[in-house]
Amino acid sequence: MYDNILVPTDGSPGAENATARAFDLARTGDATIHVLHVIAPGVTSVEPDSTEREELRQQSEKRGREATDRIQERAADLGLDAVRTVHEGTPYRAILEYVDENEIDLVVMGTHGGTGGERAHLGSTTERVIAVADVPVMAVRLAEDEVVPESGYGMYDHVLIPTDGSDAAERAADHALGIAERYGADVHVVYVVDTTIYGFEDAPRSIIGLLKQGGQNAVEEIAANACDRNLPVTTDILRGVPHEEIREYATGVDADVIAMGTRGRTVDTDRLLGSTTARVVRRSDVPVLTTD
């Protein structure tokens, strides 16, 4: 399913969590792990020719080598092939360039590395990669009290697929069904009737009925694909604030991953920030797999 999995790392707990997820997926498909650390321009933002700038760059490069070395060694202990690289540049651009140049077919990234400004910076990088990447991106969050298994997470038992009937949602569903098939997981497909739409409460019953029917058609199409793969599947039509309903449903079924489509490729993250997918990525304790 995936032959080359990229793990961008800054050495933070969030990145370690993403690494464990990547290892787990790689072990099921004999994939190669690619570990990338990017030295951001802001790290060396003093005078271009100063000695201090070079010392800062070398320190950052050393931290990157150490972080990528650790992951490569852990991969080797698990019998996985792994390659590591340290680049300098704008993080999301360096990640996307690496994806294009190395036939990467999945990126697994942490969503909250570090604290304060560092956390906001990593979140911005992850969202930009999600918005622009041609390949699926799995965003993984680490809770402060969570202990990450050294060897990975093991089986995926429940896969949640929220759909809005779009092409991007269908592509996300295809990847999710591939994971479910590989792990023998149960599939849960949901559509949320968005009650935040202006004038929804006053909308005629016929309009609400059409929305529900459209959602039913969308979930049934994915459910049929799951049945074709002999996967257990349940469907539900929900009503409320989409990102809240999805997260609550994920908790209720003990989902191990949520698979969602995005609004399209753009470096202008404002288009993504207001989307249901972005809100789920930012708030979910469950890994979120996205496709455009």
**pLDDT tens digits, one per residue of 144-186:** 556 666 555 667 999 999 999 999 999 999 999 999 999 999 9
Specify the pLDDT at position 232. Answer: 98
Rounded to an integer, the average pLDDT of 41-54 is 62
235: left (phi over 0), alpha (psi -120 to 50) or beta: beta
- Nearest residue to 93 via CA among 149, 178, 36, 34: 36
Q: Residue 116, Cβ neighbours under 10 Å: how many?
A: 7
CB 125 within 8 A of CB 92: yes
CA pair distance 15, 142, nearest whole angstrom:
8
CATH code at 4-140:
3.40.50.620
Residue 203's pLDDT is 64
Could you state, in order of their start, the residue ranges of all structural domains in the chain? 4-140, 158-284
Q: Which secondary-structure segment (H or E) carries 4?
A: strand 4-8
| Residue 193 reports pLDDT greater than 60 | yes
In 103-240, where do the E strands start and end?
A: 106-110, 137-140, 158-162, 186-194, 233-240
Q: Which fold has domain 158-284?
A: Rossmann fold (3.40.50)
pLDDT of 76-135, one tens digit each?
999 999 999 999 899 999 999 999 999 999 999 988 644 444 444 445 788 889 988 999
What is the distance, to the nearest Å, from the Cα of residue 200 to the centroid of all Cα atoms in its chain? Answer: 31
Strands of the sheet containing 233-240, edge to edge, are 82-88, 32-39, 4-8, 106-110, 137-140, 288-291, 257-261, 158-162, 186-194, 233-240
Task: Between 12 and 245, name the one with better pLDDT.
Answer: 245
Mean pLDDT to the nearest integer, 188-217 = 79
Residue 49 is predicted with a pLDDT of: 58
pLDDT value of residue 10: 82
**Nearest residue to 135 via CA among 4, 272, 278, 37:** 4
Confidence band, pLDDT 50/70/90 cuts, at residue 58: confident
Mean pLDDT score across all residues of the chain: 84
Instruction: Return phi, psi of residue 144, to 5°.
Output: -60, -30
Say yes or no to pLDDT of 5 above 50. Answer: yes
- Which residues, including other chains, have CB under 8 Å from residue 150's CB and lie 6 or more apart? 20, 74
What is the C-alpha separation between 281 and 5, in angstroms, rounded? 20
- C-beta atoms surrounding 176 within 10 Å: 27
* Contact present, 117 and 13 (Cβ < 8 Å): no
pLDDT at position 216 is 94
C-alpha to C-alpha distances, 44 to 12, 54, 60, 91, 142, nearest whole angstrom: 20, 8, 9, 14, 28
To the nearest 10°, report the CA torsion of 89, 94, 98, 104.
150
Does this model's pTM top 0.75? My answer is yes
Question: In terms of DSSP H, where are the helices of 30-90?
Answer: 51-77
In this prediction, residue 267 carries a pLDDT of 47
